[in-house]
């Protein structure tokens, strides 16, 4: 078979961000990726998996640290004219009208005024915005704004469209309509675009839209799995194959670090002090555990169903699930989640008891918390400055991630009354006011 | 249909046809052009240093003086705008330039405007020998120094704050750096910039007297203008003339407001990123005229044509080629080395400048003089601190009171702005006669002049801060039955703290700057001098003793810088981190 040249291709792409100790933190680790003509590829992963960074590397917005990015066989070093992007936050210029925003790219390319207007109006009509030409973005609803984002991208007749979580800032209904409209344009070949890469955190959305789902693992971002979606469009969410793929994707995403896929119940590999703890809120954690152990799930649930029941998106759900896993409160495998006996016990406890049990789990399974507690115990005044632990974290994590992890730890420890933290002075202590 | 003979029909778009608004637009435009050329001619008349320019206290001369003063301020504002754009863009785009430009700006901001005038005036005069233009330039430069810095800071802050996603969109859609500067960065900065321009204008008015009196080597030149008029009126003790000057100033501030700032404010609304709250979307008749009159539409149309022509020239023979090339890897090591080299150069420059100042000052003056000036600066420092504290005690409650009543607050804005523009000299008659008649303490009562212009910044910011407080807070407080004192301590004071700090920083800077014009007050034959570095600078400027002027200015700048770094900057960081509302 003759090798068809991919539209966009990456070879061994790595991306490292500099950290405080100059060691650098690896965000993308040897990514080999190719977008072929006529396909839509979805990239899924937890937050922190570097999926947005990868999209920016593809776009030529961020230079990769190693490896090559190629557009139709030629290296990419800056945004190229054949590639357009749609942003999660819409990124419209608030001082330009809808028409002005759509014309922007054409103006930059030096398209003459009359032609510019004609093409912009055609794109606006295509995406269903006719009548809104003279409106300013702030007069529009979120869904309408994102339509402007799409019109702005489509008007330059891009070869490749990059979508950065384009529907995640929209409400469910609006997102569904917009997705449907986009799928119609694509299947009816009403746009010249030959390939789409889109980043998402919504598994159903990814399976609905794409021909291929790529799952990124976190820390560093690697391609963990590729799942083809061989279903004709429009796709029915209740179709058995569809459900099967959704389950598979859930299974891939929830694989724990250090655990081989497939082996259910294998012992959790110990995590280090500087593990990037998921930013899970205690309230949501407890709600999840309660829902899981109560009817109708009774301790065991299909992840997609659980997500639906709790109306949580993947970005909200996965940190919670990871935390439960870390602390041995639940086990995940094959797209299912099951509460462990410890998890059931915690769910049955009353408020005070919960705090105590939760604290015991924290000390046992979160090395950072055990470490802080040990230091505080040993010190004569039972106090320690937060800077000390932060700088330990910053040896391994970026400054931003380090403070996020620290915040999470303080949050959990405060709930379990393991130690106190004074925001003003930045001092950790054992006394509880 | 029968063929008719007639004139060929030119495609003349509807929007270019003359309409009612042109009746207003055309006289205004031509009147403006005539006025500018008249004043321009007056500005460049032949003049030799030492020659006396007659200033008359006849109120009928005031319109003429006013036009000339306003013209200077307008030019200075334009120059400030260009300067700010270039300076801020450079500082925001280049990390290396930033390291030099931002501290320099910090210092420039702390140098009193009179300082700039006495140091640069000879250069300007040499530029245009035998013409008044050199003196005019010096005056314009002095006004420029009272306007430019805060505009530059605001632009710099705005440029840094441009949202990342908009930057990415601009790059993704291939806006050139030039295009993205004008289409993204400048529009994003406009609301804050317009606000600062208004503040700058008030600052310019405050120093209008100082800027129009130019002293070179014992020769006084007073340029015709409202400032000189006020100066002469205070010297002669003519209270009626002061009244006329106030009236004229009010009129000119109102005209500026109507023709420039109202339209600018209304127009800048559209550049705000967040949605407009109703009621704020003010209409300005002048802006409506600009947007509707066929004449201006025609000008805009010509602009578009020129722009298209330019774009066609730039993009000739393309579609833009796909930007592909081999990836150029900047060596990390070379970058680090360059950074180091640059730091060394900067440090050397700083040491050299310090050395120059020290040798220059110490060649003429001894350590004793430096110590004396230091003590004078301490006196001024105490004065400024006490005044800021007093002004806060008075204006914070007033500001909160007004801020809790939005209808009053919206009307208060132009009034406060006018009050801020009031030159200190206008109050000389009141203070000098009171001090003379009641034998009051000069050190205390002259100090009040310092805060006259500056205090309004506190009021202004407190009003804005109170307006921004979410109403929920007030509901919660009244729901919990919070007592009066607790309400202040727990709700209002923390809530308005960031806004108050911003206002107090500006006010403190203003008070330092005003010390030069307010520590010496003259009304008729009565002259009172307070102890302070401001009076020191003012007196030696009048005599033209260069080393002493430089010493005084350097000392004052040093104090302002230290005070800002050690005190205000820290409070500001605290406010940013702890008491932000979001």
Angle at B98 between CA B95 and CA B102, to 5 degrees: 160
Residue of B15, B166, B172, B274 to mutate, testing the A interface (most A Cβ within 10 Å of its Cβ) = B172
Q: Which of A80, A87, A112 sits opposite B324 (nearest CB)?
A: A80
CA A300 to chain CA centroid, Å, is: 25
- With respect to residue B442, please indicate whether it lies within any of the assigned structural domains: yes
- With respect to residue B412, please indicate whether it lies within any of the assigned structural domains: yes
Predicted pLDDT at B280: 47
Contact B377, B555 (CB under 8 A): yes
- With respect to residue B37, please indicate whether it lies within any of the assigned structural domains: yes
A120 touches chain B (CB under 8 A): no
Residue B261 DSSP symbol: I
Q: From CA B20, how far away is CA A87, in angstroms rounded?
A: 45
Q: From CA B289, how far away is CA B311, in angstroms rounded?
A: 29
Pairwise CB contact (< 8 Å): B327 & A136: no
The two three-digit tokens of residue B344, written as one number: 């060394």
Q: What percent of chain B has pLDDT over 90?
A: 8
Domain count, chain B: 3
- With respect to residue B506, please indicate whether it lies within any of the assigned structural domains: yes
**B465: domain CATH number?**
1.10.3720.10
Please list the ranges in chain A whose pLDDT falls under 50: 1-2, 259-268, 433
Q: Are residues B138 and B252 in the same domain?
A: yes
ipTM of the complex, rounded to two decimals: 0.79
Q: Are residues B188 and B209 in the same domain?
A: yes
Strands A212-217 and B526-529: unpaired
Q: Which of A77, A107, A113 sits opposite B323 (nearest CB)?
A: A77
B-chain CB neighbours of A93 within 8 Å are: 166, 169, 183-184, 187
Pairwise CB contact (< 8 Å): A91 & B166: yes
A-chain CB neighbours of B326 within 8 Å are: 75, 77
Nearest CA in chain A to B188: A95
Instruction: Return residues 129-168 of B near A (CB < 8 Å).
Output: 163, 165-166, 168
Nearest CA in chain B to A58: B172
Q: Are residues B343 and B209 in the same domain?
A: no
**Across the strands, what pairs with A26?**
A16
Domain that holds residue B491: 339-582
- With respect to residue B30, please indicate whether it lies within any of the assigned structural domains: yes
B-chain CB neighbours of A77 within 8 Å are: 323-328
**Which of A192-201, A286-295, B249-258, B320-329 has the lowest average pLDDT?**
B320-329
Q: Which of B175, B276, B578 sits opposite A108 (nearest CB)?
A: B175
Query: Where does the pLDDT of residue B274 fall: very low under 50, low under 70, confident under 90, or very high at 90 and above?
Result: low
Predicted pLDDT at B230: 85
What are the DSSP calls for A271-300, one per residue? P-TT-------HHHHHHHHHHHHSTTTTTE
Q: Give the pTM.
A: 0.78
The two three-digit tokens of residue A86, written as one number: 């749609």
Q: Which of A95, A107, A110 sits opposite B271 (nearest CB)?
A: A95
Q: Are residues B298 and B402 in the same domain?
A: no
Predicted pLDDT at A430: 84
Q: Which of A61, A93, A138 sits opposite B166 (nearest CB)?
A: A93
The two three-digit tokens of residue A348, written as one number: 């049955």
Instruction: From B246, B274, B302, give the residue that closes a domain.
Output: B274
Instruction: Return residues 315-354 of B near A (CB < 8 Å).
Output: 315, 318-320, 322-328
Burial label, B566 (beta-carbon count in 10 A; 0-12, 13-18, 19+): exposed
| pLDDT, tens digit, 9 for 90 and up, residues B94-108 | 878 888 888 888 778
Predicted pLDDT at B321: 46
Query: Where does the pLDDT of residue B441 fall: very low under 50, low under 70, confident under 90, or very high at 90 and above?
Result: confident
Contact B169, A74 (CB under 8 A): no
Q: Are residues B307 and B345 in the same domain?
A: no
Predicted pLDDT at A424: 77
Pairwise CB contact (< 8 Å): B314 & A110: yes
Q: Which of B179, B270, B304 sits opposite A108 (nearest CB)?
A: B179
Does position B277 have pLDDT exceeding 50, yes or no? no
Predicted pLDDT at B503: 83
List the helix and strand counts (H, then E) for chain B: 26, 4
- Interacting residues of A160 by C-beta distance below 8 A, sequence separation 6+: A7, A8, A35, A71, A82, A83, A84, A193, A194, A195, A196, A197
Residue of B11, B166, B173 to mutate, testing the A interface (most A Cβ within 10 Å of its Cβ) = B173
Q: From CA B28, how far away is CA B9, in angstroms rounded?
A: 31
Helix axes A142-154, A113-126, angle to 10 degrees: 130
A84 touches chain B (CB under 8 A): yes
Angle at B542 between CA B540 and CA B547, to 5 degrees: 35
A-chain CB neighbours of B175 within 8 Å are: 104, 108
| pLDDT, tens digit, 9 for 90 and up, residues B48-57 | 766 777 778 8
B304 touches chain A (CB under 8 A): yes
Q: Are residues B425 and B524 in the same domain?
A: yes
B-chain CB neighbours of A95 within 8 Å are: 187, 190, 270-271
A-chain CB neighbours of B319 within 8 Å are: 81, 109
Instruction: Return residues 410-429 of A near B (CB < 8 Å).
Output: 424
Contact A160, A86 (CB under 8 A): no
Q: Are residues B168 and B306 in the same domain?
A: no
Phi, psi torsion values for B128, nearest 5 degrees: -125, 80
Exposed e or buried b for every residue in A156-181, given b needs 16+ CB within 10 A?
Answer: bbbbbbbbbbbbbbbeeebbeebbee
User: What is the four-CA torsion angle of B271, B272, B273, B279, rounded to 10 degrees?
Assistant: -130
Predicted pLDDT at B84: 93
| pLDDT, tens digit, 9 for 90 and up, residues B211-240 | 887 766 667 778 888 888 888 888 887 888
| pLDDT, tens digit, 9 for 90 and up, residues B160-217 | 888 888 999 998 888 888 888 988 999 988 888 887 888 788 878 877 877 887 766 6
Pairwise CB contact (< 8 Å): A138 & B184: no
Angle at A84 between CA A81 and CA A88, to 5 degrees: 155
A113 touches chain B (CB under 8 A): yes
Q: Are residues B418 and B352 in the same domain?
A: yes
- With respect to residue B119, please indicate whether it lies within any of the assigned structural domains: yes
Residue with tokens 């998921």: A278
The two three-digit tokens of residue B556, written as one number: 């004052």
- With respect to residue B76, please indicate whether it lies within any of the assigned structural domains: yes
Q: Is B440 helix (H, G, I), strand (E, B) or coil?
A: coil
Q: Is B515 helix (H, G, I), strand (E, B) or coil?
A: helix
- With respect to residue B256, please indicate whether it lies within any of the assigned structural domains: yes
Instruction: From B274, B296, B328, give the residue that closes a domain.
Output: B274
A74 touches chain B (CB under 8 A): yes
Sign of CA dihedral B289, B295, B299, B300: positive
Q: Which secondary-structure segment (H or E) carries A44? A: strand A39-44
Predicted pLDDT at A257: 56
Does position B1 have pLDDT exceeding 70, yes or no? no
Residue with tokens 């384009």: A166
**Structural domains in chain A?**
8-253 (3.40.50.300), 262-433 (1.10.10)
Q: Average pLDDT for residues B313-333, to the nearest whole number?
A: 52
Mean pLDDT for chain B overall: 79
| pLDDT, tens digit, 9 for 90 and up, residues B498-528 | 788 878 887 888 888 888 777 877 777 777 8
CB atoms within 10 A of CB A304: 18
Query: Where does the pLDDT of residue B12 fall: very low under 50, low under 70, confident under 90, or very high at 90 and above?
Result: low
Predicted pLDDT at A265: 43
What stretches of B111-176 show up as alpha helix (H) in DSSP? 113-127, 133-161, 164-172
Q: Average pLDDT for residues B109-126, to the nearest whole number?
A: 76
Query: Where does the pLDDT of residue B4 fall: very low under 50, low under 70, confident under 90, or very high at 90 and above?
Result: very low
A-chain CB neighbours of B312 within 8 Å are: 110, 112
| pLDDT, tens digit, 9 for 90 and up, residues B344-381 | 888 888 888 888 877 877 777 777 888 888 999 999 99
- Interacting residues of A182 by C-beta distance below 8 A, sequence separation 6+: A150, A209
Q: Average pLDDT for residues B81-91, to the nearest whole number?
A: 92
Give the CA count within 13 Å in the CB-facing half-sphere of A399.
6
Exposed e or buried b for every residue in B444-462, given b needs 16+ CB within 10 A?
Answer: ebbbbbbbbbbbbbbbbbb
Contact B166, B101 (CB under 8 A): no
Q: Are residues B161 and B190 in the same domain?
A: yes
Query: Where does the pLDDT of residue B276 fall: very low under 50, low under 70, confident under 90, or very high at 90 and above?
Result: very low
A104 touches chain B (CB under 8 A): yes
Pairwise CB contact (< 8 Å): B184 & A156: no
Q: Are residues B222 and B304 in the same domain?
A: no
Q: Are residues B571 and B492 in the same domain?
A: yes
Burial label, B261 (beta-carbon count in 10 A; 0-12, 13-18, 19+): buried
CA B238 to chain CA centroid, Å, is: 30
| pLDDT, tens digit, 9 for 90 and up, residues B557-573 | 888 888 887 888 788 77
Q: From CA B141, how far away is CA B127, in angstroms rounded?
A: 13
Residue of B165, B174, B194, B320 to mutate, testing the A interface (most A Cβ within 10 Å of its Cβ) = B174
What are the DSSP calls for B538-557, one per residue? HHHHHHT-HHHHHHHHHHHH
Q: Are residues B248 and B209 in the same domain?
A: yes
B95 touches chain A (CB under 8 A): no
């Amino acid at each position: 078979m003759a090798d068809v040249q991919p539209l966009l291709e990456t070879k061994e792409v790595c991306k490292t961000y500099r950290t405080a100790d100059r060691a650098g933190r690896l965000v993308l680790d040897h990514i080999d990726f190719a977008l072929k003509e006529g396909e839509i590829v979805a990239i899924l992963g937890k937050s922190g998996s570097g999926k947005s960074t990868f999209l920016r590397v593809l776009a030529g917005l961020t230079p990769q640290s190693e490896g090559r990015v190629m557009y139709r066989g030629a290296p990419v070093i800056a945004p190229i004219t054949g590639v357009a992007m749609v942003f999660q936050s819409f990124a419209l210029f608030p001082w330009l009208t809808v028409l002005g925003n759509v014309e922007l790219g054409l103006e930059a390319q030096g398209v003459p005024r009359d032609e510019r207007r004609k093409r912009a109006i055609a794109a606006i009509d295509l995406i269903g915005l006719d009548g809104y030409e003279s409106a300013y973005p702030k007069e529009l609803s979120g869904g309408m704004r994102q339509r402007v984002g799409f019109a702005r991208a489509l008007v330059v007749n891009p070869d490749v469209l990059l979508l950065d979580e384009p529907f995640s800032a929209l409400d469910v209904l609006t997102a569904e309509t917009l997705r449907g409209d986009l799928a119609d344009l694509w299947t009816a070949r009403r746009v010249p675009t030959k390939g789409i890469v889109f980043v998402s955190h919504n598994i159903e959305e990814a399976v609905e839209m794409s021909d291929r789902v790529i799952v990124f693992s976190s820390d560093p971002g690697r391609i963990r799995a590729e799942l083809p979606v061989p279903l004709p469009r429009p796709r029915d969410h209740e179709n058995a194959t569809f459900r099967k793929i959704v389950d598979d994707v859930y299974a891939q995403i929830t694989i724990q670090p250090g655990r081989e896929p497939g082996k259910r119940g294998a012992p959790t590999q110990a995590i280090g002090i500087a593990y990037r703890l998921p930013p899970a809120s205690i309230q949501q954690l407890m709600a999840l555990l309660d829902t899981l152990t109560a009817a109708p799930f009774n301790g065991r649930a299909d992840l997609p169903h659980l997500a639906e029941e709790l109306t949580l998106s993947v970005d909200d759900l996965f940190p919670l699930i990871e935390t439960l896993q870390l602390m041995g409160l639940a086990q995940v495998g094959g797209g299912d989640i099951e509460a462990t006996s410890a998890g059931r016990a915690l769910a049955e406890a009353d408020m005070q008891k919960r705090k105590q049990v939760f604290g015991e789990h924290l000390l046992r399974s979160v090395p950072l918390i055990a470490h802080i507690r040990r230091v505080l115990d040993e010190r004569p005044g039972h106090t320690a400055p937060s800077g000390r632990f932060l700088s330990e974290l910053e040896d391994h994590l970026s400054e931003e991630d380090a403070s996020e992890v620290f915040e999470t730890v303080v949050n959990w420890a405060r709930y379990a009354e393991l130690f106190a933290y004074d925001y003003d002075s930045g001092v950790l202590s054992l006394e509880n006011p | 249909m029968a063929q008719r003979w007639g004139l060929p029909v030119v495609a003349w778009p509807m929007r270019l046809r003359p309409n009612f608004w042109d009746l207003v637009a055309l006289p205004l435009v031509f009147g403006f052009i005539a006025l500018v050329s008249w004043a321009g001619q007056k500005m460049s008349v032949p003049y030799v240093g030492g020659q006396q320019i007659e200033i008359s206290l006849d109120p009928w001369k005031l319109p003429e003086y006013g036009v000339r003063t306003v013209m200077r301020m307008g030019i200075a504002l334009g120059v400030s705008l260009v300067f700010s754009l270039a300076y801020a863009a450079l500082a925001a785009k280049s990390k290396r330039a930033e390291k030099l430009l931002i501290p320099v700006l910090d210092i420039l901001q702390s140098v009193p405007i009179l300082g700039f005038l006495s140091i640069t005036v000879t250069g300007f005069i040499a530029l245009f020998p035998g013409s008044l233009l050199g003196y005019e330039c010096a005056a314009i430069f002095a006004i420029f120094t009272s306007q430019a810095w805060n505009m530059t800071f605001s632009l710099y802050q705005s440029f840094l704050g441009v949202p990342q996603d908009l930057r990415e969109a601009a790059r993704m859609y291939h806006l050139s750096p030039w295009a993205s500067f004008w289409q993204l960065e400048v529009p994003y900065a406009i609301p804050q910039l317009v606000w600062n321009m208004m503040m700058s204008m008030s600052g310019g008015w405050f120093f209008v007297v100082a800027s129009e009196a130019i002293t070179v080597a014992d020769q006084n030149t007073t340029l015709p203008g409202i400032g000189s008029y006020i100066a002469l009126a205070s010297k002669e003790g003519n209270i009626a003339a002061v009244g006329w000057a106030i009236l004229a100033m009010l009129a000119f501030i109102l005209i500026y407001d109507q023709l420039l700032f109202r339209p600018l404010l209304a127009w800048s609304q559209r550049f705000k990123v967040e949605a407009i709250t109703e009621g704020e979307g003010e209409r300005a008749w002048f802006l409506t005229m600009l947007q509707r009159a066929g004449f201006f539409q025609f000008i805009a149309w010509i602009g578009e044509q020129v722009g298209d022509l330019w774009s066609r020239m730039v993009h000739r023979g393309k579609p833009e080629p796909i930007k592909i090339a081999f990836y150029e890897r900047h060596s990390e090591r070379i970058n680090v080395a360059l950074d180091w080299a640059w730091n060394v150069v900067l440090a050397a420059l700083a040491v050299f400048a310090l050395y120059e100042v020290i040798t220059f000052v110490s060649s003429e003056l001894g350590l004793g003089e430096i110590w004396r000036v230091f003590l004078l600066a301490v006196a001024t420092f105490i004065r400024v601190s006490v005044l800021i504290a007093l002004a806060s005690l008075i204006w914070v409650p007033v500001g909160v009171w007004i801020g809790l009543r939005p209808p009053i607050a919206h009307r208060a804005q132009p009034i406060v702005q006018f009050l801020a523009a009031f030159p200190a000299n206008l109050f000389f008659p009141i203070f000098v006669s009171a001090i003379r008649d009641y034998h009051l303490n000069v050190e205390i009562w002259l100090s009040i002049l310092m805060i006259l212009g500056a205090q309004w910044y506190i009021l202004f910011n407190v009003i804005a801060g109170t307006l921004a407080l979410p109403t929920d807070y007030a509901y919660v407080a009244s729901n919990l039955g919070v007592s009066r004192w607790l309400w202040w301590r727990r709700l209002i004071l923390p809530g308005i703290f960031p806004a108050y700090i911003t206002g107090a920083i500006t006010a403190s800077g203003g008070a330092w700057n005003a010390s030069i014009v307010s520590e010496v007050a003259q009304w008729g034959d009565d002259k009172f001098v307070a102890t302070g570095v401001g009076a020191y600078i003012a007196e030696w400027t009048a005599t033209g003793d260069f080393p002493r002027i430089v010493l005084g200015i350097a000392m004052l700048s040093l104090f302002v810088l230290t005070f800002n770094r050690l005190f205000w900057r820290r409070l500001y960081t605290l406010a940013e981190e702890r008491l932000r509302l979001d």
